[in-house]
Structure formats: C-alpha cells, structure tokens
C-alpha cells in the first residue's frame, strides 16, 4: 500500500466507478418494486389565473386511476424551502406555466399520457409579469393587477422576495463616503449586464419511487421515497410537513444519481412529495420519472439577472468605489432565491480591494416556474457583470485589462467587501502571471492583432479573475450543525455514514480517501454507505462547494476518533499494517459488539457574521482563480467559438488530481455553454425550447482544449488542506469569453447567452446604415478598430 499520507493527493479509482462502466449502477428508473404503479402530473397550461373548473373526459375509465388533489394532502399544502409560499399542488390559483394541479397514478405507464391529456382545466386568466422589468414596473406603477406576490413570513415586499444591501469601507460605511469617492474620481464608468436562464440538463431527469404505509383507519403512518437527489434530508423535511409526520417516519434514500448541478437540490422535494401522495392514494408504490420535455419545462433553472455597475476610478487605475445593483428573476415562488441572491451579493465586488462598496440586490417575482439552484448559485451572474465591467474600466482608464486588475487585487492581510480579513495566503498576482504565461497571452494577443487585420476570422484573448466562497454563507454551517459517523462493519472494515451524496463529482471517492488516510489503511479497505436517512446522520446538503472541505473535515475527525478508540481499546500500535487494523477492529467488535464514532461541525476558527448588515466572515475561505479564453469570431457566419481555454485556480490541496481536473473541465464546459450556446426561449412564462433538439449544450465537437492548472496552497479548513472546488469553474468562463470577443472584434457585448444572431444584429447595426447602423465599421475592416491592448 502507499504510505498513508499519500492517499489524499493520489487518484484511486472512483468508488462506484466499476459499476458505472459496467452499466450495473442502479439509477431510480432501473428499479422496480412489486405492484408498483406509475405517476404523472397535470399541470397548468397558463401562466397566471384562477382555476374555474376541472373536467375529466367521460370516455376515460377514471376508476382505474388514483387522483390526488390539494384537498387530499394530509398535512400542509406546501413545499417548504425558506418559507411556505410554494404550494405542493395549486388550489384556487396558478402562478406559473406547468404549475402542478392534480396528480394521477395508474398501474400501466402507457395509460398516463392519455389520462393527463383527458383532464381539461378552465381558468379565469389574470395578467402576468414575465421579466424583471415588468415586475418592477408593476410595483412602480402601483399596478395591483400585476402584483403577483405579496410577501411572506420570511420577509419580502410586493413582487420582491428579498432585498439586501451590503456596505463596506475602510474608514466608514455610509452613503456620504461613497459619494465622496465618486467626487474625487478621475473617471466614473457605468455598465449594465444581463444573463439568461440556464438549464442544468443533467442527463438523468428527475425521478423517484415512493411507498406509503397506512394504519387500519387509513391514516398514513410512514412514507419512504428513494430517488435521484442531492439532499435527502431536505426531502425528509418537506415530507414531514406534507404528511404531518415526525422526521423518523419519513425515510429518504438516494439512488445513483445521473447528474444534478443544483437541479436536484430543492426540486426532489416537489416530485418526492407528489409520488408519496400518489402512493398514499393508490396503496401501491409509485414511480414518477419526468420525461425530458417535462423536466425542462417544469423544473428549476439558473436565475436570469440584470446587474448595473457604477465605478469610481483614478487615472492611474485605482478603484475608488463602486455601486452595484443586482436584480434576479426568481420566478413565481421564493424557493431558494433569497440564498442565491445572498451569494450573488457577496461575490459581486469580486477579488478586488475597494475603499467603498455598495451592493443593493433584490430577487423579484415573475410568472415563470421558480428558478433555483445551479452550480455557482448567484455568483456566475454577478461575476459575469463584474469581470465584463473591469474590462470596460480598463479601456476607459487606458490600461490593459490585466494591468487594471493587477493594481487592485485583494491580497493577504486585506479585507474583503464584507470586512472579512484574508489571513490565509492569497496571491492573485501570482495566479494572473501564471495564467498569462500558461496561455501564452502576450504573444497571442500581439499575433492575433496582426492577423485580424487581414482576416474575416477575428481572434482574441480575454481574462476573468474571480473567487468562490467554500461552504454555506456566514453562520450557515453553524446552523446546519452537520454530523458525520464512521463505524466498523462486522468484517472489520470501516464504513463512512453521511447524507452527502455522490452525483458524479466524486463524494464517495474523496471521503474514502480522507478516511483511509486518517485511519492509515488502504483506500480499498474503506466503505461508504448509501445515503439512507434511516441509516446515516445529517451531514448537511450536498451543495455550496462544502462537501470536500466541511464534510471531509468531519470524516477526518470521526476517523481519527475511531483510530484513537482502537488504539486505546484494542492495543493497536501507533504504526500499523492493514491486517493489524482489521485484527484490532475485529477484537474490538468481539469485546464491545459495535463501534461508531461521530464528529459534529465546529468551525476551525470563530466565524463572525452579521446577517442584517452583510458584514463579517462570509465564508470559511475562498477559492481563487484566473481564467483565460481564446476565441475566434467568424464574421462570415457571425459564430463565436472558444479555441483554447486555460483555467488556473487555487483550491487548497488537490485531493484527487483526476477528479479535480474533471470538476474544472466540466464546469468550464458548462460555462462555455452559458456564454455561447444555451438559451432558454420564453413565451408568456413558458419555456418554448424544452428539448435537447433546440436547447443546445456543448457536444464533444464544440469544445476546445481545456487546460487546467492548479496552485496548491493548503487551507486550514479542509481535510489535508482542501477547499471547495465544484462551483468555482462555473464563474469565470462567460466573462473571459466575452472579454475575448471584445478583444477580437472591438465590439462590446454585455448579454449572455451570445448567439450568432446577436453578433449579427450588433455587427450589422454598426455597419449598415439601412439597419440603423452608423456605418462606421466595415466587417472587413473590424481589425483596424481593435482597442489598444498594451497601453
């Protein structure tokens, strides 16, 4: 075996990898229970209105169906997130297209399609709001008809789920000091940036199988749901309310999960509750699997955003202050929007030192299906705006984009916009230097500028500098109060018990590495249990780049506890072989029957966070990165493509080089899709392109070589020095790509996704007076209008 201290940092085979390459891994649709029925959802066909009547077509034998209405719900009609505004099933009103109204189950899956089509619902339609601007206008105009959301016990005002204001400053935190910064500025630079919705597009759609147990009187005594999900205990919590049952009577089991990316964070609470209600009604296990079109139309997406920047800067490129205004489109119910907004707010000032910052942020209500969690969770939106804006500031000041950033980076000992002291090493300058070096930035910039003069294919380079907070925000980890256990199996192998889930990112593997290293035994000897809430403690949700760092640290502590117990109780020596470990484990079990060691979350260092003022230690730590995109824009076809991508980051110690690279490459690919391909087309709140045929994610033929580079700086918060890695790579690609497109064409684009038709409109707008263009630019001469890049 390798030395124990070499297990973290090597790349052992993925724990469940063999089953996956053999096709033996069981996803929820591969499972079948005896007597199982199938479930389906009858959904709203309109965006907003009152349900008048529900007709069941007489030619269908409805006695063969189980039908669930809101009135059948034994507990509360709510899908709980932060508040209870989100109904499990609509009662009198609907607030978005595809809102669930009725549930149907049948023993034959094939009968459901006709069943759903044979229910007709008549509505009294109400006017809807479908964009951030429409939602704001309704409030501004006091248009009561278009106030679609009124507030909740969690806060919020008309059409606004949540608002935050973040003020920071070295010597004061007032509007006055901010105003002074703008008065002394040599330049004031303004910009407005937009991002679209993005579909998670996990290849396995949402799906569950539910069972329900009733007593002789027909009252529900327990429910059990297994399926594809990230956060089993979130679903437990949802079920306790819907069924009015204690936690111990709501069992949730995660099955192998075919991708999630945030899309299976909160949504399983919906489909899981629905399937359990159908199981209650029909008395059989019920399987509900969405098909692709339903999954895309009805489940969550990344929040669309609008971000405005106003920046004060001196003529030597020192950032003096900024005002940032963020608006997210939350869809029809609050769901996770307040938390997404919080991460957007904290990440908005980026990795820069600002004497004064003011961020005002809000999440507004629209009549779209609720937007939710997607890798990055608000940060990709605000970092897109910031990093596009930094290029604009650089242009105004007359500095190269990299030079402006270099002059303003946060460094060790500085405080972030929330006032958090960066007492661990932070070296953005080093990251920038190396990223420019690895991508051959200077040489390419010069070469492209030269070549672009005589080519209709314009090439360019762009950078983005950014960070991503690891773990829950502020006091969130303290509130989660996560617990991890490590136990001995009867054969003496240690087994990890966590509710943290594997959905491709490598949870099983890295947690086993951590345990193996702590227990000083081979990786192969460690086992991890399937997340089943009747078997595993609540180690928190699998979100927020927290699993490696937070849960990994708990696995390390629980494992060390177990090792110490064996040393004290079975005479295991300080240095031992795998065989000696097993022998000591069996001796301990023989004498005591069992051994299970727990670890509960304790912050490595005290966390000071004020939720009201948005001030203090926003995250235990941040991962830092500089990404470089190389693009080609073909002015014959108006298509832009990424021709090379360099991703350099500092994510603490690398636990598993192969998995870590895979995380970065996969995130960059999603980021490229976010920037150039993936467009949700909406009509009156309904997604019109809810198919893989017309919602385009990158294929193997669309992606460039993605070069991944790590700077390894061990971090005190994670096991063996690890930080969070999962979300970071989603944040940087889009701004780097649009910066590169501006470098290539001289034209500034501030909205993503950026499709060929968008490039066409803007280029022809510039060049063709008949289309309202100024006639200033000729596509063939665009190269001559390239901005000065090496000022």
Interface with another protein by CB under 8 A: which residues? 11, 13-14, 16-27, 29-30, 200-205, 256-261, 291-292, 503-506, 658-659, 661-662, 665-670, 691-693, 697-701, 703, 705-706
Write out 548-582 in H/E/C secondary structure: HHHHHHHHHHHHHHHHHHHHHHHCCCCCCCHHHHH
Query: What is the smallest separation between the CB atom of 208 and another protein, expressed in angstroms?
Result: 16
Query: What is the smallest separation between the CB atom of 668 and another protein, expressed in angstroms?
Result: 6
Going from the C-alpha of 641 to that of each of 62, 401, 672, 696, 702, the distances in angstroms are 53, 21, 9, 14, 8
Closest CA to 148 of 294, 269, 307, 329: 329
Grouping H, G, I as helix, E, B as strand and the rest as coil, residue 688 is coil
Query: What is the smallest separation between the CB atom of 671 and another protein, expressed in angstroms?
Result: 9
Cα separation, 261 vs 151, whole angstroms: 29
Query: What is the smallest separation between the CB atom of 658 and another protein, expressed in angstroms?
Result: 4
Query: What is the smallest separation between the CB atom of 93 and another protein, expressed in angstroms?
Result: 32
Diameter of the chain by CA atoms? 90
Query: What is the smallest separation between the CB atom of 541 and another protein, expressed in angstroms?
Result: 18
R_g of the chain, CA atoms, integer Å = 27
Query: What is the smallest separation between the CB atom of 501 and another protein, expressed in angstroms?
Result: 11
Going from the C-alpha of 520 to that of each of 170, 507, 591, 689, the distances in angstroms are 47, 20, 23, 52
Phi, psi of 164 (to 5 degrees): -130, 155
Nearer to another protein, 211 or 294 (CB): 294
Nearer to another protein, 110 or 573 (CB): 110
Are 49 and 123 spatial neighbours (Cβ–Cβ below 8 Å)? yes
282-292 burial string, b = 16+ CB within 10 Å, else e? Answer: bebbbbbbbee
Closest CA to 417 of 516, 345, 502: 345
Nearer to another protein, 18 or 591 (CB): 18
The pair of structure tokens assigned to 76 is: 């509360």
What DSSP state is assigned to residue 232? H
Query: What is the smallest separation between the CB atom of 555 and another protein, expressed in angstroms?
Result: 21
Closest CA to 60 of 116, 107, 14: 116
Nearer to another protein, 21 or 761 (CB): 21
Cα separation, 171 vs 174, whole angstroms: 10
Nearer to another protein, 259 or 756 (CB): 259
Cα separation, 459 vs 707, whole angstroms: 19
Nearer to another protein, 604 or 703 (CB): 703
Closest CA to 719 of 535, 546, 584, 472: 546
Grouping H, G, I as helix, E, B as strand and the rest as coil, residue 233 is helix
Nearer to another protein, 331 or 666 (CB): 666
Are 304 and 195 spatial neighbours (Cβ–Cβ below 8 Å)? yes
Nearer to another protein, 26 or 591 (CB): 26
Query: What is the smallest separation between the CB atom of 700 and another protein, expressed in angstroms?
Result: 4
Tokens 């499709």 appear where?
755
Query: What is the smallest separation between the CB atom of 674 and another protein, expressed in angstroms?
Result: 12
Please report which residue ranges of 361-464 form alpha helices under DSSP H.
379-397, 401-406, 428-438, 441-452
Cα separation, 686 vs 331, whole angstroms: 11
Are 368 and 682 spatial neighbours (Cβ–Cβ below 8 Å)? yes
Nearer to another protein, 240 or 505 (CB): 505
Nearer to another protein, 18 or 315 (CB): 18
Nearer to another protein, 148 or 659 (CB): 659
Nearer to another protein, 354 or 645 (CB): 645
Query: What is the smallest separation between the CB atom of 290 and another protein, expressed in angstroms?
Result: 11
Cα separation, 45 vs 213, whole angstroms: 33
Nearer to another protein, 613 or 697 (CB): 697
Query: What is the smallest separation between the CB atom of 389 and another protein, expressed in angstroms?
Result: 27
Nearer to another protein, 188 or 658 (CB): 658
Query: What is the smallest separation between the CB atom of 730 and another protein, expressed in angstroms?
Result: 11
Nearer to another protein, 390 or 708 (CB): 708
Nearer to another protein, 12 or 196 (CB): 12
389-404 burial string, b = 16+ CB within 10 Å, else e? Answer: bbbbbbbbbebbbbbb
Please report which residue ranges of 398-506 form alpha helices under DSSP H.
401-406, 428-438, 441-452, 476-480
Query: What is the smallest separation between the CB atom of 14 and another protein, expressed in angstroms?
Result: 7
Query: What is the smallest separation between the CB atom of 644 and another protein, expressed in angstroms?
Result: 12
Cα separation, 308 vs 193, whole angstroms: 6
Tokens 């000083």 appear where?
520
Cα separation, 404 vs 771, whole angstroms: 36
Query: What is the smallest separation between the CB atom of 20 and another protein, expressed in angstroms?
Result: 3
The pair of structure tokens assigned to 444 is: 């390419």
């Amino acid at each position: 075996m390798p030395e124990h201290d070499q297990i973290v940092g090597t790349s052992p085979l993925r724990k469940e990898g063999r089953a996956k390459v053999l096709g033996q891994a069981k996803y929820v649709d591969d499972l079948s229970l005896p007597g199982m029925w199938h479930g389906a959802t009858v959904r709203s066909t309109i965006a907003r209105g009152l349900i008048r009547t529900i007709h069941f077509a007489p030619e269908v034998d409805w006695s063969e169906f189980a039908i669930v209405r809101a009135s059948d719900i034994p507990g509360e009609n709510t899908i709980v997130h932060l508040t209870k505004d989100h109904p499990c099933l609509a009662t009198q009103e609907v607030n978005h297209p595809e809102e669930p109204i009725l549930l149907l189950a049948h023993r034959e899956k094939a009968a459901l399609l006709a069943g759903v089509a044979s229910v007709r619902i008549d509505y009294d339609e109400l006017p809807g709001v479908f964009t951030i601007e429409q939602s704001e206008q309704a409030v501004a105009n006091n248009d009561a008809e278009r106030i679609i959301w009124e507030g909740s016990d969690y806060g919020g005002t008309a059409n606004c789920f949540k608002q935050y204001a973040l003020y920071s400053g070295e010597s004061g935190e007032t509007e006055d000091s901010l105003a002074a910064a703008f008065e002394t500025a040599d330049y004031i630079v303004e910009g407005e940036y937009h991002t679209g919705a993005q579909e998670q597009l996990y290849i396995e759609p949402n799906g569950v199988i539910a069972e329900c147990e009733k007593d002789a009187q027909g009252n529900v005594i327990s429910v059990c749901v297994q399926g594809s999900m990230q956060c089993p205990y979130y679903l437990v919590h949802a079920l306790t309310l819907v069924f009015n049952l204690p936690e111990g009577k709501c069992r949730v089991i995660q099955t192998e999960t075919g991708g999630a990316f945030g899309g299976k964070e909160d949504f399983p609470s919906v489909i899981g509750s629905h399937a359990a209600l159908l199981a209650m009604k029909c008395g059989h296990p019920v399987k509900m699997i969405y098909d692709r079109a339903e999954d895309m139309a009805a489940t969550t997406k990344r929040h669309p955003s609008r971000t405005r920047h106003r920046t004060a800067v001196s003529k030597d490129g020192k950032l003096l202050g900024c005002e940032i205004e963020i608006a997210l489109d939350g869809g029809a119910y609050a769901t996770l929007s307040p938390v997404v907004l919080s991460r957007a707010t904290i990440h908005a000032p980026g990795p820069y030192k600002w004497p004064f910052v003011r961020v005002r942020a809000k999440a507004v209500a629209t009549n779209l299906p609720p937007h939710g969690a997607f890798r990055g969770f608000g940060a990709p939106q605000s970092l897109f705006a910031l990093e596009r804006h930094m290029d604009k500031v650089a242009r105004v000041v007359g500095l190269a984009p990299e030079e402006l950033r270099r002059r303003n980076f946060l460094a060790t000992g500085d405080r972030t916009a929330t006032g958090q002291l960066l007492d661990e090493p932070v070296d953005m300058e080093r990251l920038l230097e190396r990223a420019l070096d690895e991508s051959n930035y200077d040489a390419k910039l010069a070469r492209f500028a030269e070549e672009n003069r005589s080519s209709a294919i314009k090439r360019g380079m762009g950078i983005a500098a950014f960070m991503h907070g690891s773990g829950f925000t502020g006091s969130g980890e303290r509130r989660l109060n996560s617990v991890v256990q490590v136990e001995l199996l009867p054969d003496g192998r240690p087994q990890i018990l966590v509710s943290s889930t594997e959905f491709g990112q490598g949870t099983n593997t890295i947690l086993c590495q951590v345990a193996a290293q702590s227990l000083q035994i081979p990786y192969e000897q460690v086992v991890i249990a399937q997340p089943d809430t009747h078997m595993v403690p609540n180690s928190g949700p699998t979100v927020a780049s927290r699993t490696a760092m937070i849960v990994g640290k708990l696995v390390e502590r629980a494992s060390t506890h177990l090792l110490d117990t064996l040393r004290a109780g079975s005479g295991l020596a300080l240095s031992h072989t795998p065989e000696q470990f097993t022998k000591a484990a069996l001796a301990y079990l023989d004498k005591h029957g069992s051994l299970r060691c727990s670890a509960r979350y304790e912050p490595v260092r005290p966390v000071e966070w004020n939720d009201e003022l948005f001030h203090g230690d926003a995250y235990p730590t941040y991962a830092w990165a500089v990404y470089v995109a190389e693009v080609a824009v073909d002015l014959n076809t108006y298509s832009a493509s990424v021709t090379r991508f360099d991703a350099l980051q500092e994510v603490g110690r690398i636990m598993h080089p192969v998995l870590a690279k895979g995380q970065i490459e996969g995130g960059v690919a999603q980021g490229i899709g976010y920037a150039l391909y993936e467009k949700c087309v909406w009509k009156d709140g309904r997604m019109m392109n809810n198919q893989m045929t017309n919602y385009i994610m990158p294929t193997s033929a669309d992606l460039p070589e993605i070069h991944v580079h790590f700077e390894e700086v061990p971090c005190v918060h994670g096991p063996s020095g690890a930080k969070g890695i999962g979300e970071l790579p989603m944040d940087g690609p889009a701004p780097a790509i649009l910066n590169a497109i501006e470098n290539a064409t001289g034209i500034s684009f501030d909205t993503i996704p950026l499709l060929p038709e968008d490039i066409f409109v803007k280029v022809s707008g510039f060049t063709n007076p008949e289309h309202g263009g100024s006639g200033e630019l000729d596509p063939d001469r665009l190269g001559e209008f390239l901005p000065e890049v090496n000022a």
